[in-house]
Structure 1
Amino acid sequence: MRSIWKGAISFGLVTIPVKVYSATEQRDVSFHQVHRKDGGRIKYKRVCTVDGEEVPYADIAKGYELPSGEIVVLTDEDFADLPLSTSRRIDVLQFVETDQVDAIYFAKSYYLEPDGTGAKPYVLLRDALEESGQVAIVKVALRQRESLATLRVREGVFVLETMLWPDEIREPAFPFLEEDIEVRKQELSMATSLIETMEGDFDPSEYKDAYREALQAVIEAKIEGREVTRPEPEEGEEPAADLLSALRASVEAAKKSRGEKDGGQKGGGAKDGAAKKPAARKSTAKSGGRAAKSTEKKPAAKPRSRKSA
């Protein structure tokens, strides 16, 4: 990986020099626009709509359009006076519980690596933050934009996650929220049963981008000169008569799917699933403070621990 930014974490009077790396990458298949006839690349020219002349890049400025359609032209000098920090610091503002930060605020993730002599204070802050079970709220200027961000620990490395500002989050003002929609107790019970049937430990490696794989296969077939085969469409299931029937059918399908995944056969799947269930629930109880299930009468629920796993 190549670092995209160098700076320092400012933690009280402690300064920790770091390098910043993009933690994620898009794996979409990219294309160029080409001439269908001969495959030639399509080029675009920067042409002014007023005089029709092609404009050199050095003569291009940023324009803000008013509601009237008029344009306010901003130059580099206008941007130079804006209060954007150039100190290359990641300023720690406060520490908060992890569950206080809604995931909708997160924009992009970056890894931080200690730079030069910053390894020891980096590890010190990392261990202290991990021990606290909290995340740091920080402010940083990246790519000509100042952002709030969180600083957390993942696999022994600081992860900087830039955040949207509060006024960038849209209000979900949907009409159904004002309606009095009645949910029957039996329906809620069946929905809860479906959730319990489908619960498990999240393993990202179990999922794949089927569209990208199929698209790559089409490209490879084109390269090799083979005929492209199209997969047969999947047969659609008959819609359920009502919500409760749909939930009940979903529970049965989830149980069947879980049995095939765990044991390959119906009998073996149930046995293997039963053997694996206690361990999974023990892990869940440890991480989230949720009591393990029992056929006996449940005791009063204990309050959740605020400390993150």
Structure 2
Amino acid sequence: MHTIWKGAISFGLVNIPVKLYKATDSPSIPLRQLHNVCNTPIQYKKHCPTCDIDVSGKDIVKGYEYEKDTFKVVNEETLEKLQSDNSPKAVSIQQFVSVTEIDPVYYHTSYYLGPDATGHKPYALLHEALHETNKAGIATIVLRQKEHLALIRPYDNVLLMETMHFPENLRSTEQVPDLPKETTVSEKELATAEKLIEQLTEPFEPAAFKNTYAERFKDALLNTETMISAGETHKKETNVHDLMKTLQASIDQTQPEQHPPKKQKTARKTKTAPGKKAT
């Protein structure tokens, strides 16, 4: 597991050296954009419209747009200094709360906090204390030049850190269009809905839910689409799951009893795919 941050958790006078690891994966299906004429992947170039030239990485700087089309250039040295000045390698717990007090809308990303070699005892102490009191710590941390609110809680045998949105980052619910303003719900309708909810209520078992979209997508794609190589302008039929059926059908068509003995060898020849030489 790749370490993405090293620092320490502190509360009171206690200091716990820790390492930060990503707790979740976000698998995605890698789809490339291709030129529909030759199936070659599309390339993207960095281009300056004012100079009308392509620009390489060494000629690019970062800038902060403080007014419309007005920038303050920020070099890497300045960014590193700002980060070192404003982001000490510490997660300072400012208070403890009950996890049930936190609305999930504030949660952003989950990380595992693992102990450093010298921090096993205080790490275990904090984990056990949070578990026994059913509490979580509220802290702040700077990751990738961005400050986050964070919640630290026990999860199995590890400390889990959830980065959180600041209140000002949440959009107002008033921005949601077409919300019902005044809708009357009858007692009978409400009672029926509550009964249905009660009937469908079960203990949450995470293992019962699986992300099957990627498998279904790949399976459907391989069964219905043609496989193509970059630079080719023709398609080759490669139905993976029906390959054995196709081969068997070809064998059945070339059985000796279906053709005169003298033409048996000729009948065994199969059609050559476009673009290939016959063998």
TM-score range, shorter chain: 0.7 to 0.9
* 1:171-225 Cα distance to aligned partner (Å, 9 max, x none): 1015776733211111110011010010001122323334322211034445691
Tell me how far apart the structure 2 counterparts of residues 37 and 178 of structure 1 sit (CA, whole Å).
49
- Matched position secondary structure for 1:41: coil
What residue number does 2:215 align with? 213
What residue number does 2:19 align with? 19
- Matched position secondary structure for 2:92: strand
* Bigger fraction of residues in helix: 1
What residue number does 1:294 align with? none
What residue number does 1:9 align with? 9
Q: TM-score under structure 1 normalisation?
A: 0.67
8 A Cα contact 1:85 1:146, kept in partner? no
Tell me how far apart the structure 1 counterparts of residues 131 and 146 of structure 2 sit (CA, whole Å).
28
What residue number does 1:154 align with? 155
Q: CA deviation at 1:70?
A: 3.8
Q: CA deviation at 1:74?
A: 3.3
- Matched position secondary structure for 1:130: helix
Aligned ranges for residues 138-287 of structure 1 at < 5 Å? 138-173=139-174, 174=176, 179-221=181-223, 225-226=238-239
Unaligned runs of 5+ in 2: 228-236, 243-279
What residue number does 1:122 align with? 123
Of residues 210-219 and 185-194 in structure 1, the stretch that sits farther from structure 2 once superposed is: 210-219
What residue number does 1:76 align with? 76
Q: CA deviation at 1:156?
A: 1.3
Which of the pair has the greater relative contact order for Cα pairs under 8 Å at 6+ separation? Answer: 2
Matched residue count: 229
What residue number does 2:50 align with? 50
8 A Cα contact 2:113 2:159, kept in partner? yes
Of residues 70-79 and 96-105 in structure 1, the stretch that sits farther from structure 2 once superposed is: 70-79
- Matched position secondary structure for 2:108: strand
* 1:19-70 Cα distance to aligned partner (Å, 9 max, x none): 1110001122112223334443322221111101222223322334466444
Q: TM-score under structure 2 normalisation?
A: 0.73
- Matched position secondary structure for 2:33: coil
Distance of aligned partners of 1:126 and 1:68 in 2 relative to their CA distance in 1, 3 Å threshold:
closer
Tell me how far apart the structure 1 counterparts of residues 72 and 207 of structure 2 sit (CA, whole Å).
50
* Bigger fraction of residues in strand: 2
Distance of aligned partners of 1:184 and 1:64 in 2 relative to their CA distance in 1, 3 Å threshold:
same
- Matched position secondary structure for 2:19: strand
8 A Cα contact 2:222 2:240, kept in partner? no
Tell me how far apart the structure 2 counterparts of residues 178 and 37 of structure 1 sit (CA, whole Å).
49
Tell me how far apart the structure 2 counterparts of residues 7 and 66 of structure 1 sit (CA, whole Å).
32
Tell me how far apart the structure 1 counterparts of residues 135 and 211 of structure 2 sit (CA, whole Å).
33
What residue number does 1:61 align with? 61
The residue identity in structure 1 corresponding to 2:12 is G
8 A Cα contact 2:87 2:141, kept in partner? no
Indicate the percent of aligned positions where both proteins have the same amino acid.
37
* 1:45-100 Cα distance to aligned partner (Å, 9 max, x none): 21111101222223322334466444443333553554753421111111011122
- Matched position secondary structure for 1:117: coil
8 A Cα contact 1:8 1:89, kept in partner? yes
8 A Cα contact 1:64 1:73, kept in partner? yes
Distance of aligned partners of 1:175 and 1:110 in 2 relative to their CA distance in 1, 3 Å threshold:
closer
Tell me how far apart the structure 1 counterparts of residues 172 and 111 of structure 2 sit (CA, whole Å).
28
Unaligned runs of 5+ in 1: 230-309
- Matched position secondary structure for 2:48: coil
The residue identity in structure 1 corresponding to 2:104 is A
8 A Cα contact 2:113 2:158, kept in partner? yes
8 A Cα contact 2:47 2:55, kept in partner? yes
Measured on the aligned residues, the alpha-carbon RMSD in Å equals 2.5
The residue identity in structure 1 corresponding to 2:181 is E
* 1:256-304 Cα distance to aligned partner (Å, 9 max, x none): xxxxxxxxxxxxxxxxxxxxxxxxxxxxxxxxxxxxxxxxxxxxxxxxx
